[in-house]
Amino acid sequence: MGSLISCISDPCPSSSPSAPAPAKRRSSTSSRGRGSSVGARDAAKAMAIDEEALAAAAALVLGQRGAAGGLGAFERSASVRYAAKRQSQGPPLPRSCSTRPRSLADPELQPQQLVAKDLNTKDLETNIIVLVHGGGFGAWCWYKTISLLEDSGFKVNAIDLTGSGIHSSDTNKISSLSEYTEPLTSYLRGLGESEKVILVGHDFGGACISYAMEMFPLKVAKAVFLCAAMLTNGHSTLDMFQQQMDTNGTLQKAQEFVYSNGKDQPPTAINIDKGLLRDLLFNQSPSKDVSLASVSMRPIPFAPVLEKLVLTAENYGSVRRFYVETTEDNAIPLPLQQSMCGANPPEKVLRLKGSDHAPFFSKPQALHKTLVEIAAMPAKQAS
């Protein structure tokens, strides 16, 4: 999504889509202690993680190809699909798929260490969290967050917006923000009269949850903007990116416009060059998550990005907002995130140190802790 900044300054269409860079699979077998039982267990765990990542990617592709044939939807939570297998192998595996040494900023913690022992999610204002992906992403990107939140007692729903993830619509035919966010607004419309949720929007998903907050303010207990577009009334996501020019040219190099209506018409979608995904979005993320994204990301619909939001104090303004900053973000740099918070101050700003634009990959434990902290904040008393 960060790649949208140069679409006005560089109207020339890309001559041909860049071929995706071949994914490099890293060996997960330890070269030390091969004869020891500890080394064997570590190797078995690493291999199992690799198998889960590959199975998730394969299931996504099969779900997309078989949608017309009636195949089931992609099962987003690997913790459900592999639960029985892991139980037979011993203690549960750590949730992070990283093969690199874990950063001190994102230590491996068990859910019971992240959530206070006396916290019962059923006693919260709401224990339902709805995850809304950013431009080009899909519900698949939240797989670590889903697992951690479910283990902590939350009910989690990750939405595939129109033309994203395994949603079958053609991205090039999406003509409005209303159409793009329909899966989210349809979900909120179907909630019970007294039910509320916590909305979490990433990247362009920030504009989507803002739209939903304006439509259903009474059904949103809290809104979390995760390195996301947090816009003011009368502004579009494209307006936001015009505030920050990319000094090293990565954004301009990464974008590839799609002109499905002809080159004499406005772009219908934007692709991101697979070879530049890591530099732009995943500069701190594990290699296997970058590989998953490279085979799963879809074009970003252009029309919703251009649409200016209508936000009122009575609806949008009545919902509690929280912003989560990411310090190593190359797509929406920290100064731009801080500028949005200055122009449209949320109730509280939290920070994920060392996170790139995909904290659900690069800092899953820290992100989980932050979301639990927000969820546990007591409801404000009506004045």
What value does the mean pLDDT take over residues 12-23? Answer: 43
pTM of the model: 0.73
Annotation says 133 is catalytic: no
Residue 22 lies in a domain: no
Residue 74 lies in a domain: no
Q: DSSP for 239-285?
A: HHHTTS--TTSHHHHHEEEE-TT-TTS---EEEE-GGGHHHHT-TTS
**What pairing do the DSSP bridges indicate for beta strands 320-326 and 220-226?**
parallel
Residue 75 lies in a domain: no
Residue 368's nearest CA partner among 163, 94, 100 is 94
Q: Is the pLDDT of residue 371 over 80?
A: yes
Residue 173 to residue 170: CA distance in whole angstroms: 6
DSSP-derived letter for residue 152 is T
- Tokens encoding 312: 């009122």
Give the pLDDT confidence of 23-69 residue by residue, as tens digits.
444 433 334 444 445 455 555 655 665 566 555 555 544 444 444 44
Q: Is the pLDDT of residue 160 over 90?
A: yes
The CA-to-CA distance between both ends of the chain, in Å, stands at 39
Residue 258 lies in a domain: yes
Residue 23 to residue 274: CA distance in whole angstroms: 10
Q: Is the pLDDT of residue 81 over 80?
A: no
Interior/surface letters 36-47, b for 16+ CB within 10 angstroms, e for the rest: eeeeeebbebbe
Annotation says 329 is catalytic: yes
Q: What is the pLDDT of residue 238?
A: 87
Higher pLDDT, residue 359 or 34? 359
Task: Determine how many CB atoms are found less than 10 A away from the CB of residue 28.
Answer: 18
> Which of 203, 246, 273, 356 does the annotation list as catalytic?
203
Annotation says 123 is catalytic: no
Q: Is the pLDDT of residue 365 over 50?
A: yes
User: Is the backbone of residue 142 left (phi > 0), alpha (psi -120 to 50) or beta?
Assistant: alpha
Banded model confidence at residue 253, pLDDT cuts 50, 70, 90: confident
134 touches 205 (CB < 8 A): yes
359 touches 367 (CB < 8 A): yes
Q: CA dihedral defined by 307, 188, 142, 340, rounded to 10 degrees? A: 40
CA 221, chain centre distance (Å):
20
> Which of 160, 246, 329, 356 does the annotation list as catalytic?
329
Question: What are the residues facing 271 on neighbouring strands?
Answer: 256
Residue 4 to residue 241: CA distance in whole angstroms: 7
Cα 226 to Cα 29, 39, 66, 364: the distances in Å are: 34, 37, 32, 13
Residue 177 to residue 304: CA distance in whole angstroms: 4
* Angle subtended at Cα 112 by Cα 108 and Cα 113, rounded to the nearest 5 degrees: 50
Rounded CA Rg of the chain: 20
Share of the chain above pLDDT 70, in %: 66
In the numeric block, the tokens 């889960």 are attached to 52
Helix H or strand E encompassing 323: strand 320-326
Banded model confidence at residue 1, pLDDT cuts 50, 70, 90: low
Q: What is the pLDDT of residue 260?
A: 92
For residue 51, the one-letter residue type is E
Give the pLDDT confidence of 107-119 residue by residue, as tens digits.
555 544 544 455 6
Q: Is the pLDDT of residue 209 over 70?
A: yes
Q: What is the pLDDT of residue 42?
A: 57
Residue 272 lies in a domain: yes
Q: What is the pLDDT of residue 56?
A: 54
Residue 95 lies in a domain: no
Banded model confidence at residue 120, pLDDT cuts 50, 70, 90: confident
Residue 121 lies in a domain: yes
210 touches 319 (CB < 8 A): no
Residue 86 lies in a domain: no
Task: Determine how many CB atoms are found less than 10 A away from the CB of residue 128.
Answer: 18
Q: What is the pLDDT of residue 33?
A: 43
> Which of 133, 167, 235, 357 does the annotation list as catalytic?
357
Q: Is the pLDDT of residue 330 over 70?
A: yes
Averaged confidence pLDDT in the chain: 79
CA 33, chain centre distance (Å):
37
Q: CA dihedral defined by 337, 341, 346, 351, rounded to 10 degrees? A: 40
Q: What is the pLDDT of residue 347?
A: 97
Q: Is the pLDDT of residue 379 over 60?
A: yes
For 150, the domain range is 2-8+112-376
Structural domains counted in the chain: 1
- Tokens encoding 8: 């006005």
CATH code assigned at 222: 3.40.50.1820
Torsions phi, psi for 199 (to 5 deg): -95, 130
